[in-house]
Amino acid sequence: MKFTVEHTPATIVKVYPKSSDLFKKYRIDFCCGGNRPLKESFTEKDLDESEVLGELNASYEEWSKEDHDVIDWDAKSLSELIDHIRYTYHAPLMEELPALGQFVTKVYSRHGGTHPELKELYRIYNDFKVEMEEHTIKEENEVFPLIKEYEVNPGEELLERIRVANGGLADEHNGVGDMLKEMRKITGDFIPPVDACGSYRITYARLAELEEDTFQHIHLENNILFAKL
Binding site for Fe ion (CB under 5 A): 139, 221
Closest CB 159 distance from Fe ion, rounded Å: 19
Closest CB 11 distance from Fe ion, rounded Å: 20
Distance from C-alpha of 48 to C-alpha of 45, rounded to nearest angstrom = 9
* Cβ nearer to Fe ion, comparing 88 with 199: 88
Closest CB 62 distance from Fe ion, rounded Å: 31
Closest CB 153 distance from Fe ion, rounded Å: 23
Pick from 213, 169, 216, 214: nearest CA to 71: 216
Tally of CB atoms within 10 A around 41: 22
Q: What is the DSSP string of 158-227?
A: HHHHHHHHHHHHHHHHHHHHHHHHHHHHHTTTTPPPTT--HHHHHHHHHHHHHHHHHHHHHHIIIIIIIH
* Cβ nearer to Fe ion, comparing 20 with 203: 20
Closest CB 10 distance from Fe ion, rounded Å: 15
Q: 229 with 147: CB under 8 angstroms?
A: yes
* Cβ nearer to Fe ion, comparing 29 with 221: 221
The rounded Cα 37 to chain-centroid distance in angstroms is: 18
* Cβ nearer to Fe ion, comparing 200 with 226: 226
Closest CB 86 distance from Fe ion, rounded Å: 8
Q: State which residue has the least CB distance to Fe ion.
A: 221
Q: 22 with 55: CB under 8 angstroms?
A: yes
Pick from 83, 67, 104, 127: nearest CA to 206: 104
HSE toward the beta carbon, residue 96, CA cutoff 13 A: 20
* Cβ nearer to Fe ion, comparing 24 with 90: 90
* Cβ nearer to Fe ion, comparing 29 with 139: 139
